[in-house]
Structure 1
C-alpha cells in the first residue's frame, strides 16, 4: 500500500490554485471516478475517496493552511499548532535547535570590541558546529568569549551547563528531531472489524521509491474511520532523533445483513403472518451464530426484539459487548390455496 499522496498532486493542481480552480479539478475527477459510473472498479472507488478527501481539505481555508505548513500531521486529531511551531521555530530568533528553515541576525562584541551586525540563513537541515562558528565569525576565534555563561573557541567548542545551552539554542543539549509521520489507509471487511485480524501493509517512500512491509494487528471492535498508530515505523529522525509513526486509517466495508451503530448491531427478520398473529418461534442470524427467538402472539410489523450481548465487543474491554436489535417484518403470502383463502375469509368474518 502506497503512502498517502500529496493533496495537490491528487487533484492535479499547484499550491497557488484558488478555490475556483480547486472546485473545478474536484468536479472533473469526481465525475470521472464516481462509483455510479464505475461499478465494481476498486481503483476508481479508491480514487474517488482520495479526490474527495483532498477537496475537503484544500477547500477549507483553515485545514489548507495547516496542511500547507505542517503536512498531513497538521490534520491529525489532537495536533497542536503552537507546539509544532515551537518545535520547528523555537529558540534563537526562530530556528529551533539550528534545524529546519530560518535566519538569525544580531550584533555581538568580543574582547571589548564591537562586531558589525551579522546575519545567517539556513535551509532544509540542521546547522552544525561549523555553521555556528561561521555564523558568529570572529566571536569564536578568540578564547575567553562568552554567551550566557558559555566559553567558546573553534577548537574546544562549548563548555558550560545544559541550562545555558538551552538558553543559547532554545532546544536543550540534544539537537535530535523526530521523523515525520506517514499516513496510509487500509480497508477491512465487516467481520474483520468485529473480531479483529492480522494484516500486512506495504508502504512506499515517494522520494526514493523504496518499499517496506509492516505487520499490523487490527483490534476487535474497531470502527470505520478510526486510526491505528504504528509507533516508530514512520520516517527516520534527524540527528539521532526517534523515527516518526505510521498513522493507519481504517475503512470498513459495510455488511449486507447487519448495520452497526457503535457497539450495537441492527438486523431484520421476516416472519409469516400466522406466526405473528398466533405466536411461535423464528430463527435469527447473529454475529456469533443462529439463535431461536420467541415471537409473541399479536406481534406487529416494526416490532423489535433485543438480543443482549450479541453486539460488538468494546476495544478497551472485550468482555463488554453491545446488543443486537432485530426488527420484525410480517411476511404476507403472495398466493393462497383455495382452502387457505377460505380460512382467511372466515377469520375476517369472525374478527
Structure 2
C-alpha cells in the first residue's frame, strides 16, 4: 500500500494553518468539480484525492494522527527496508494508532453521489481511519436514491405576473416546465427524477428550480402588491380629469380628482400580482402621481398664470 502525501495533494506546507488548507481545498474543488469537468475521468480521480486530503487535514484529530503516522513512515523509509515490512496494524483503526480508539467521520455518501461506486476513499485512508486490517471496511452496495439538486431560474416580473414556460435540460433529459402566475423570488418548482442518478438501481433525485424574479424598471414588487409612478399634467392635477396609469396588463384610465397634489398615491384594487395559492385573487397596484409642470410657455399662457397668481395673492 502506498503512502499518500495529503499536504502535497492540496499543495500546502506541513505547517499550513486551517485557513490555508480550506482555501487550497476550495480552489482545487472548483477546478476539478464534475460540473466543470463532465465525463473527465482524470478530474474525477483528482477530486477524490482532494476530498480525501481535506477530510484528513481539515479535521484536527485526523490530521494529528496522520502527522504522527508520517513521522513513523519517514523513519521507516530512512531505514531502507521494503514497504512490505512496515507494521500497518499499529496504525489501523483496529490497532493502537489513536489512544482510546478513534471513530472517523467520512463523507462516503457525498463522494458516491458524485462518482458512484462503493465509497470514495483509498485503502490508505480506510486503514488509518475507517477500515480494519486486511479489509476495506466499506459498506455493502445498497440501493440509494439520488440526491436532490437545486438550480436558479431567472424570469422577468411580467413572466411572474402572467406565468410562462421554460425548457429545462439536465443530463440529456429535457422537460417543458410551466411556471405559474404569482411566483416570487425563492419560489421552488420540483421536477421529479431530474436530480442526481441513484445508486445500484435506485431512482434519481429531484431537481428544484429556485425562482429569481428580476428587477423591473417600471414596477416594484412588495408581497402581492405592485408599486409604480405615472406622469400627471399640471392642468389635470388642478382641474381633475383622466390619466393613463401603467399596469402589467397595459395602461388603464384613472379618474383624477381636482386639486390633486404631487406625490399622491392611488390604489388600484386587484391590479397587483396574482396570488400563487389562489390565482383568482390578486394584490393591489399603488400608483404615485408625478405632477409635471408645463414647459416653454407662450406669452398668452404666462399672462394667464400671472392673472391666476394675482387672484390667489
Per-residue deviation at 1:214? 2.5
Structure 1 alignment gaps of length 5 or more: 1-12, 26-64, 69-84, 90-97, 106-117, 129-174, 205-210
Give the TM-score taking structure 1 as reference length. Answer: 0.51
Per-residue deviation at 1:234? 0.9
Q: 2:45 maps to what in 1?
A: none
Higher strand share: 1
User: Is residue 231 from structure 1 mapped to residue 157 from structure 2 by the alignment?
Assistant: no
Q: Could you tell me which of 254, 259, 263 is aligned with 1:302?
A: 263
Q: 1:310 to 1:19 in 2, by over 3 A?
A: farther
User: Is residue 344 from structure 1 mapped to residue 305 from structure 2 by the alignment?
Assistant: yes
Structure 2 alignment gaps of length 5 or more: 1-9, 13-17, 28-54, 59-105, 111-117
For residues 198 and 122 of structure 1, what CA distance do their matches in structure 2 show?
49
Q: 2:246 maps to what in 1?
A: 285
Q: 1:289 to 1:337 in 2, by over 3 A?
A: same
Contact residue 99 and residue 127 of structure 1 kept, 8 A: no
> Deviation string for 1:286-308 (max 9, x for gaps)?
12232211111111111101000
For residues 223 and 303 of structure 1, what CA distance do their matches in structure 2 show?
28
Partner SS state of residue 333, structure 1: coil
For residues 216 and 14 of structure 1, what CA distance do their matches in structure 2 show?
44
Contact residue 156 and residue 214 of structure 2 kept, 8 A: yes
Give the alignment's Cα RMSD to 1 decimal: 3.5
For residues 17 and 99 of structure 1, what CA distance do their matches in structure 2 show?
27
Per-residue deviation at 1:341? 0.7
Per-residue deviation at 1:17? 5.8
Q: Which residues of 2 match residues 163-178 of structure 1 at below 5 A?
A: 175-178=142-145
Per-residue deviation at 1:104? 6.3
Q: 1:321 maps to what in 2?
A: 282
Q: 2:153 maps to what in 1?
A: 186
Give the TM-score taking structure 2 as reference length. Answer: 0.57
User: Is residue 257 from structure 1 mapped to residue 224 from structure 2 by the alignment?
Assistant: no
Q: Which residues of 2 match residues 1-351 of structure 1 at below 5 A?
A: 18=20, 103=130, 120-122=135-137, 126-127=139-140, 175-204=142-171, 211-351=172-312
Q: 2:35 maps to what in 1?
A: none
For residues 346 and 335 of structure 1, what CA distance do their matches in structure 2 show?
18
Q: 1:306 to 1:183 in 2, by over 3 A?
A: same
Per-residue deviation at 1:20? 10
Query: How many residues are treated as equivalent by the alignment?
Result: 207
For residues 250 and 14 of structure 1, what CA distance do their matches in structure 2 show?
38
Partner SS state of residue 170, structure 2: strand
Partner SS state of residue 250, structure 1: strand
Per-residue deviation at 1:187? 2.1
